[in-house]
């Protein structure tokens, strides 16, 4: 499929990746270059170089309104790139666009050509910096309870930990819910040894990037913020020394037969 959707109005949901432009895919760059309008959270739109497109920015929690505005623009003939950070299909704007399209009764949106362009996600970036902590089966869970109850989140964390997945936590902590990351780690610790590796990747790919490798026994939830992605290893995850002297975390591909 061509990197650029068809002539006339269209809507493409793209991701800038978690860092600078080096992590933006050529396909995403081509779609943005062909767009007449950029729609997105202001911080993400700012990552895109100004090529004369009209920019429509809004607050991070206005996903539904943002999706509706993008669909309106595309239905009117604009070529619209909806900008997400990371990958647009992972806890991001792609789902918001499809949800808005399904729930609304706007006949003129039905003819809008929509596509989603894959991108580098924060989970890929943090895992690569750390080594290969997701080298075997893993589970990704958002700890934000804005769109789902905490009871559902807690149950999913507990069951995933019991099943011995490596776990990656998006949206781990905020001022409004400072306790939830600690509660999630407690649920995992009931099924993991204290020495289980834990990775904290904050602002990976940006100038203030920070990567911490610790373990469950020493983990401090206060070390994370909303820019942090937390990876907790499976029972098989290991820490080894690399040639540069820094530790690396990896989960072997082979799982023990006697589990």
Mean pLDDT of the chain: 93
Q: Does residue 1 lie in a domain region?
A: no
Residue 179, pLDDT > 80, answer yes
Provide the domain limits for residue 57.
10-120
Has residue 258 been placed in a domain? no
- The model's pTM is 0.92
Look at strands 138-142 and 166-170 and give their pairing.
parallel
Torsion angles phi and psi, residue 87, rounded to 5? -95, 130
The tens digit of pLDDT for each residue in 231-252 reads: 999 999 999 999 999 999 999 9
For residue 6, the model assigns a pLDDT of 53
Domain ends where: 96, 120, 144?
120
For residue range 75-101, list pLDDT tens digits in order: 999 999 999 999 999 999 999 999 999
- pLDDT at site 1: 37
* Inside any domain, residue 3: no
- Do 70 and 135 have their domain in common? no
Helix axes 150-162, 180-189, angle to 10 degrees: 30
Co-location of 160 and 220 in the same domain: yes
Mean pLDDT of 107-112: 89
Question: Which residues face 169 on adjacent strands?
Answer: 141, 230
Could you report the per-residue pLDDT of 9-48, keeping only the tens digit for each? Answer: 999 999 999 988 889 999 999 999 999 999 999 999 999 9
Same domain, 34 and 48: yes
131 and 101 in a common domain: no
Q: Which residue has the tokens 């100004």?
A: 50
In the chain, how many domains are there?
A: 2
The pLDDT of residue 21: 84
Averaged over 160-180, what is the pLDDT?
93
> How far is 248 from 204, CA to CA, in rounded Å?
16
Q: What is the mean pLDDT of residues 54-72?
A: 93
Tell me: pLDDT of 223 over 70.
yes
**Whole-number pLDDT of residue 4:** 55
Residue 80 inside a domain? The answer is yes
151 and 47 fall within a common domain: no
Q: Is residue 218 predicted with pLDDT exceeding 90?
A: yes
CATH number of the domain that residue 28 is part of = 3.40.1010.10
16, part of any domain:
yes
- Please tell me whether residue 40 adopts helix, strand or coil conformation: strand
| Residue 4 within a domain | no
CA–CA distance, 180 with 161 (Å, rounded to integer):
16
- Give me the percent of the chain exceeding a pLDDT of 70: 96
Instruction: Quote the pLDDT of residue 7.
Output: 58
Which of 91, 120, 149 terminates a domain? The answer is 120
Q: Which residues contact residue 202 at a Cβ distance below 8 angstroms, ignoring those fewer than 6 apart?
A: 208, 209, 210, 211, 212, 224, 225, 227, 228
**Does the pLDDT value for residue 3 go beyond 60?**
no
pLDDT for 5 beyond 80? no
* pLDDT range class, residue 176, cuts 50, 70, 90: confident
Final residue of a structural domain among 63, 91, 120? 120
Percent of the chain past pLDDT 90, that is, above it, reads: 82
Answer yes or no: do 143 and 44 share one domain: no
């Amino acid at each position: 499929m061509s990197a650029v959707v068809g002539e006339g109005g269209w809507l493409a949901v793209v991701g800038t990746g978690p860092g600078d432009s080096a992590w933006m895919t050529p396909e995403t760059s081509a779609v943005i270059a062909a767009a007449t309008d950029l729609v997105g959270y202001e911080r993400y739109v700012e990552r895109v170089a100004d090529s004369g497109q009209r920019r429509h920015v809004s607050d991070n929690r206005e996903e539904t309104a943002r999706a509706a505005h993008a669909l309106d623009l595309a239905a009117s003939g604009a070529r619209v790139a909806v900008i997400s950070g990371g990958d647009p299909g992972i806890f991001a704007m792609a789902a918001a666009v499809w949800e808005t399209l399904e729930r609304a009764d706007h006949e003129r949106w039905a003819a809008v050509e929509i596509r989603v362009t894959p991108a580098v996600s924060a989970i890929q970036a943090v895992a690569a910096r750390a080594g290969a902590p997701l080298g075997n089966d893993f589970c990704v869970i958002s700890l934000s309870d804005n769109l789902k109850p905490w009871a559902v989140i807690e149950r999913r964390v507990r069951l995933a930990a019991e099943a011995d997945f490596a776990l990656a936590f998006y949206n781990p902590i905020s001022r409004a819910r400072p306790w939830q990351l600690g509660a999630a780690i407690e649920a995992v610790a009931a099924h993991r040894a204290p020495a289980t590796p834990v990775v904290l990747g904050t602002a990976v790919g940006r100038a203030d990037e920070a990567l911490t490798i610790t373990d469950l026994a020493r983990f401090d939830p206060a070390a994370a913020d909303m820019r942090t992605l937390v990876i907790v290893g499976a029972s098989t995850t290991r820490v080894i020394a690399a040639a540069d002297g820094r530790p690396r975390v990896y989960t072997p591909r082979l799982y023990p037969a006697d589990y």
